[in-house]
Amino acid sequence: MKKIIAGLSVALLLAGAVVMPAQGQKASATVPKDSVSLTEKAVAGKPSADSLAMDSTMSVAADEALAEGLEEAVGGESFHQMLKSKFIEGNAGFMSLVALALVLGLAFCIERILYLSLSEINAKKFMADLDAKLMDDDVEGAMTMCRETRGPVASICYQGLLRLSESIDNIERSVVSYGSVQSANLEKGCSWITLFIAMAPSLGFLGTVIGMVMAFDQIQNAGDISPTIVASGMKVALITTIFGIIVALVLQVFYNYILSKIDHITSQMEESAISLLDSVMKYKLKK
């Protein structure tokens, strides 16, 4: 009995040894298939160089399309190009005259602004220093200060000091007369600015009339009233008028600024003349 049991146990052990290697072989055969499928999935999910290049090309094309769309939305041309095209459409002959009026008018405006800016000084401080020198009996120092100071205020004070030995009436007449000369110098060239302010819209209106004549000539030649025929002449008329009015407005702004500076300097001259006469009176009473 013992021998039979021992034989059965040996047989069972041998059967288990045979079955387990077979199962191990099946397991080893199934694992590589799973690993291969996972590797293929990983490779398939990773972008290739060709796909990256294609994506970058598409993004650049999209940016260019967006830029073109924005440019078309803005108008497709810059302000300088639009201005040049309108200048050509408005009949270059009359538009050149309007542009010439603008250039010459601005040249006179800039010259006057520079002259007036250089003519302005701190008149109150200057007259205080001049009065102090007269009170110290330093007439030569006062005259030197007037010669070295720019502007009409110093000029009229110098003319008054030149006649310091004369009567107060003669000094007053000299200051008033030379003040009128300096006022005329301040307003020099302003008449040309007013001329160009008047010329610019007049040239625009002249272009308007000529544009209307051109429109009627085209209607007569065509023998028909068509919007296309009338539009060309009307366009020339309106463009020249617009540019003429714009030029007149620009020059008018500069002209008003120049007038304000002239008024300011003139008031400084009048106050300085009064202060000079007071200082001369005190100097004469002191002596």
Whole-number Cα distances in Å, 153 to 41, 42, 70, 136: 94, 92, 58, 21
pLDDT value of residue 64: 52
Confidence of residue 219 (pLDDT cuts 50, 70, 90): confident
Which of 127, 92, 41, 125 minimizes the C-alpha distance to 207?
A: 92
Query: Please, which pLDDT band fits residue 1 given cuts at 50, 70 and 90?
Result: very low
Give pLDDT tens digits for 71-108: 444 444 565 566 566 655 656 667 788 889 999 999 99
One-letter identity of residue 83: L
pTM of the full structure: 0.66
In this model, does residue 152 exceed pLDDT 90? yes
Position 87 scores a pLDDT of 58
**What is each CA distance from 233 to 11, 94, 99, 209, 217, in whole angstroms?**
120, 14, 20, 10, 9
Count of CB atoms within 10 A of residue 13's CB? 10
pLDDT more than 70, % of the chain: 64
pLDDT in tens, 12-71: 444 444 334 444 444 344 444 444 443 444 434 444 544 444 444 545 454 454 445 434
Stretch 239-247: mean pLDDT:
86
User: What are the residue ranges of helices labelled H in 187-226?
Assistant: 190-222
d(CA 191, CA 200): 15
Burial of 240 per CB tally in 10 Å (0-12, 13-18, 19+): buried
**Structure tokens, 80:** 């300088």
User: pLDDT tens digits, residue range 106-149?
Assistant: 999 999 999 999 999 999 999 999 999 988 888 899 999 999 99
Model confidence at 251: pLDDT above 90: yes
pLDDT of residue 12: 42
pLDDT in tens, 159-193: 999 988 888 888 999 999 999 999 999 998 899 99
What's the confidence (pLDDT) of residue 88? 59
CB atoms within 10 A of CB 157: 28
SS3 assignment for 62-78: HHHHHHHHHHHHHCCCC
